Amino acid sequence: MATYSAGDIKGNYMIKEKCRFCSKEIKFELHANFTVYCPFCFKHHRSECEYGFGPVTPFYFSVGKLLIAKIYEDNSNTCFLESPYFEKKALRGVYLDAVSESDKIMDIMIIQNKEKILKDLKL
């Protein structure tokens, strides 16, 4: 069962859930479009997207409360994946294709940067 608290970060909602893989409690920021990874086992815990109801960008990736990447769209409708852990990448796809392309990049990036992310998480 999830618990919510209003306005913890940037006016968005913070949510607490148990990881579906390791059962540890995860706290993360709720966005309209996001993917969250567990900060303990680093597995993909949950994703939500407003595709069909609104734009899919910005789309946020986080490990627990730590924001690690964001998909955004520029004025020419090109989507980019930006992160402090790697160089900005222009994505080939748009809408859900951009999210799917980014998911694959993020799965690899999280494994490659696990130690840096753990340091930044300060658990």
- List, for residues 41-92, the tens digit of each pLDDT value: 999 999 999 877 767 889 999 999 999 999 999 988 899 999 999 999 999 9
Give the pLDDT score at 122: 82
Percentage of residues in the chain having pLDDT higher than 70: 89
CB 61 within 8 A of CB 35: yes
Question: Six-digit token pair at 10?
Answer: 């940037």
Give the pLDDT score at 57: 87
Give the pLDDT score at 4: 40
Neighbours of 95 (CB within 10 A): 16
Predicted TM-score (pTM) of this structure: 0.86
Q: Label residue 13 by pLDDT band (50, 70, 90).
A: confident
Neighbours of 61 (CB within 10 A): 25
Q: Label residue 5 by pLDDT band (50, 70, 90).
A: very low
Task: Check pLDDT > 90 for residue 12.
Answer: no
Please choose, from the candidates 93, 94, 102, 20, the residue with its C-alpha nearest in 3D space to the C-alpha of residue 60.
Answer: 102
CB 36 within 8 A of CB 49: no
